[in-house]
Structure 1
Amino acid sequence: VAGIDFGDAVFAETVRVGVGRIEQLMDDELRGADEVMTDSLTYLFKAGGKRFRPLFTVLSAQIGPDPDAGEVTIAGAVIELVHLATLYHDDVMDEAEVRRGTPTANVRWGNSVAILAGDYLFATASRLVSRLGPEAVRLIAETFAQLVTGQMRETRGLREGAEGADPVEHYLKVVYEKTACLISAAGRFGAMFSGADGEQVERLSRLGGIVGTAFQISDDIIDIDSDSHESGKLPGTDVREGVHTLPMVYALREPGPEAARLRELLSGPVTDDAAVAEALTLLRASPGMAKAKDFLAQYAARARQELALLPEVPGRRAMETLIDYTVSRHG
């Protein structure tokens, strides 16, 4: 499921069916839009993707007594619709040209259409979440706010000279707000709507935040350490945008002429292809890359500690596999 081998064919089919129900609901909702919207709305959805958030929702629901509850399907669709909406808007802000191996919506139709498609996806998520009651509506509203705050924090960057400012702390805060908070919400929703108890709901929410952070660190390593065929995105996207991810933060702290050259190259967005290639070569060889991978392993260990306190059920074992996948997928 989603490129992950859970080692149990029967359980994997259960999960595949659960994720399939979420995809079907999303498809029904998006195809029900006015025809002037549908091509742009379904564009990224049809391009595929890992479906990590629906998967995490479905796996979290396996901890509760009613994992097949209809509310779990709705919750998974809400989470993935929000995620898709942020991709449209992120690609406009980043002037990205490739997403999931295909031209971005902003390249195909222009910024205005891409922004409006993202807005409509947010609206669709809001309409769906209203079926789940006021607590779910409040949670999604708070998650919206965190997502926007994280995007703003990343856009404005780490203020120079801010007292006590730590680039690693800044990075982790951005990652939680931009990425991990939505996976935390997926864990909470899956547990809530499958009838898990309050302690399990809180644990799966925390676990989602940890796994979500690990997933983003892994993505940031992949952005440096892989080619476009592997990742479906243009390597060095963060270098081009002037975004300092964890491998870069660590690499920039290193002594020596290579790090000095990196500091020169990464002082802002890098637009020249040769400079991007040079920066990627230096980053791949830097001890900062190994430090980022060690940091990722620490997050995986934290996730396993949370998992150990959940019931010994197939869903928990599948979560362990998911954590292993998250850590190892950067190669």
Structure 2
Amino acid sequence: MVASARTEPRGSMAMELTIGDPALTARLERGMDASEERLRALAAEAQDPCVAEVAGHLFGPGGKRLRPLLALVGAEFGERARSSANRSTADPAATDPALADPSPAVEAAALAELVHVASLYHDDVMDQARTRRGVPSANARWGNTTAVLAGNWLLSKAAQLAAALGPEAIRLQSKVTNRLIMGQIRELVGPSDEDDPLSHYFTVVAGKSAALIAMALQLGAVRTGAPEHVVQTLAEYGEHLGIAFQISDDILDITSTSEVSGKEQGKDLAIGVASLPVLLALADERPEAGELRTLLTAATAGPEGAGLPRAVALLHRCGALAEARTVMHARLLRARTAANGLPDGPATRVLHALCDFVARRDH
């Protein structure tokens, strides 16, 4: 049975991260609304109605829209944000949230989400996923070939949008697309006999997850004229946050129901994806490792996943989930350290609040 789509109010994550700053909350929420309108308009540009429907499939339901939000937060470090702050000091009327225009970053936010959704279409084909964001995945609804082509179409639209934003946006978009593809290939091929499985995991995650989050922050900052050292610090923060976010996803795959996560529970485990808890559980000679290895080798004991509950129980019992959380918190500490190098202000506080959000995400 397909889980019903989550109906979180748009902008709820922005509100959660900006408590005590109504002006910033309003600015981010307006930017999120505008970026979603832009995404729907981009999907509608397809000349074929079928392409438009498939391409826009994931722009409506569920999801926290993390990457567009990060692009908007990154834009807060640019010249527009500084000018707005100066106007607010000189003119109390300028503190009205309605006067703050988020439009310079809307295109950056839309670009970040275009690339992300394209990667989801491709991921779901590779993983044979049936749901995404609480609705049927594109491949489940239209087939693998259509889903792959729709993902390619979204990447082509992302390239067109980047070209309109200028050389730096083109560089960032092309670089992250390359990293995404290389990450997907490395995940598909798996580590060689000479590779350390944990090192291979972090290489894949850096390409598939961290690169996108870092790009979103950089795009927003570049779009509004942030200094180069700020752009690079945001990239460092995004890399560490992205790895921590993926580790939390790994944990949620094991611990969370589909109604909460919007994806099938234990899907990665069932298809043999080497998530961090699994790798940690298999890394030593603890008693549970042998049985867990047998279950995973047998694709969780058959096509119906009969061994999945047992594999989940073993991961809990052997302490691998607790170890994965420790690694996640270490990455969050590195993200916080990078954020400490940014100018103090509301946007930097949002980045710290986002670390808090990831830390409690699987609890």
- The answer to whether the 8 A contact 2:254-2:265 is kept is yes
Matched, 1:300 2:350: no
Residue 89 of structure 1 aligns with which residue?
122
- Asked whether the equivalents of residues 71 and 193 of structure 1 are also in contact (C-alpha less than 8 Å), the reply is yes
SS at match of 1:96: coil
Alignment partner of 1:63 is 2:83: no
- 1:268 deviates by 5.9
| TM-score normalised to structure 1 length | 0.95
> How far apart, in 2, do the equivalents of 1:203 and 1:169 lie?
24
Written as runs of structure 1 = structure 2, the 5 A alignment for 1:133-144 is 133-144=166-177
Q: Counterparts of 2:197 and 2:174 in 1: how far apart (Å)?
A: 28
SS of aligned partner of 1:273: coil
- Alignment partners' CA distance in 2, 1:69 and 1:224: 38
Counterpart for residue 19 of structure 2: 7
- Which digits, 9 at most, give the CA deviation of each residue in 1:151-178, with x for residues without a partner? 0000001112x1xx22211111100001
Q: Residue 16 of structure 1 aligns with which residue?
A: 29
C-alpha offsets along residues 258-314 of structure 1, whole Å, 9 cap, x if unaligned?
222112112364334221111111112221111110011111111111111111111
CA contact (8 A) 2:125 2:147 kept: yes
Question: Which position in structure 1 is the counterpart of 2:60?
Answer: 46
The structure 2 residue matched to 1:225, chosen from 249, 252, 255, is 255
CA contact (8 A) 2:30 2:102 kept: no
- The answer to whether structure 1 residue 313 and structure 2 residue 345 are counterparts is yes
* 3-state SS in 2 of match to 1:43: coil
Aligned position for 2:147: 114
Amino acid at match of 2:69: L
Moved more, 33-42 or 205-214: 33-42
Amino-acid identity (%): 38
The counterpart of 2:357, out of the listed 317, 325, 329, is 325
Contact 1:58–1:190 (CA under 8 A) maintained in structure 2: yes
Counterpart position of 2:242: 212
Q: Which runs of 5+ in 1 are unaligned?
A: none
Give the Cα–Cα distance (whole angstroms) in 2 for the partners of residues 69 and 296 of structure 1.
32
Q: Using the TM superposition, name which of 145-154 and 96-105 deviates more.
A: 96-105
Counterparts of 2:173 and 2:12 in 1: how far apart (Å)?
Answer: 24
**In structure 1, what residue type is equivalent to 2:210?**
A
Which region of structure 1 is more displaced relative to structure 2, 111-120 or 168-177? 111-120
- Once residues 149 and 65 of structure 2 are traced to their aligned partners in structure 1, the CA distance between those partners, rounded to angstroms, is 22
Counterpart in the other structure of 2:97 = none
Instruction: Give yes or no for contact 2:62–2:262 (8 Å, CA) kept in 1.
Output: no
- Secondary structure of 1:255's counterpart equals coil
Maintained 8 Å contact 2:62/2:134: no
State the AA in 1 paired with 2:80.
D
Contact 2:299–2:305 (8 Å) recurs in 1:
no
Superposed, 1:55-204 pairs within 5 Å as 55-67=69-81, 68=101, 70-160=103-193, 162=194, 165-204=195-234
Q: Which residue does 2:45 correspond to in 1?
A: 32
Q: Deviations over 1:170-199 (max 9, x none)?
A: 111100001111111111111111211111
SS at match of 2:273: coil
Q: Deviations over 1:239-273 (max 9, x none)?
A: 12211111111111243432221121123643342
1:287 is matched with which residue? 319
Unaligned runs of 5+ in 2: 1-10, 82-100
Task: Kindly indicate whether residue 249 of structure 2 is the aligned counterpart of residue 239 of structure 1.
Answer: no
Query: What one-letter code is carried by the residue in structure 1 that aligns with 2:325?
Result: K
> Deviation string for 1:99-133 (max 9, x for gaps)?
11111111111122212211111111111111111
Structure possessing the higher radius of gyration over alpha carbons: 2
Give the drift of 1:10.
Answer: 2.9
Structure 1 residue 138, shift from structure 2 partner? 2.1
CA distance in 2, matches of 1:19, 1:176: 26
Q: Judging changes above 3 Å, is the alpha-carbon distance between structure 1 residues 10 and 69 closer, same or farther for their aligned structure 2 residues?
A: closer
Q: Distance in 2 between matches of 1:243 and 1:32?
A: 36
SS of 1:136's partner is: helix
Aligned partners of 1:312 and 1:267: how far apart in 2?
50
Q: Comparing 245-254 with 297-306, which one deviates more in the overlay?
A: 245-254
Paired residue secondary structure (2:285): coil
| Partner Cα separation in structure 2 for residue 47 and residue 41 of structure 1 | 13
SS across alignment from 1:274: coil
Instruction: Using the TM superposition, name which of 174-183 and 112-121 deviates more.
Output: 112-121
CA RMSD of aligned residues (A): 1.5
Higher deviation after alignment, 280-289 or 248-257: 248-257
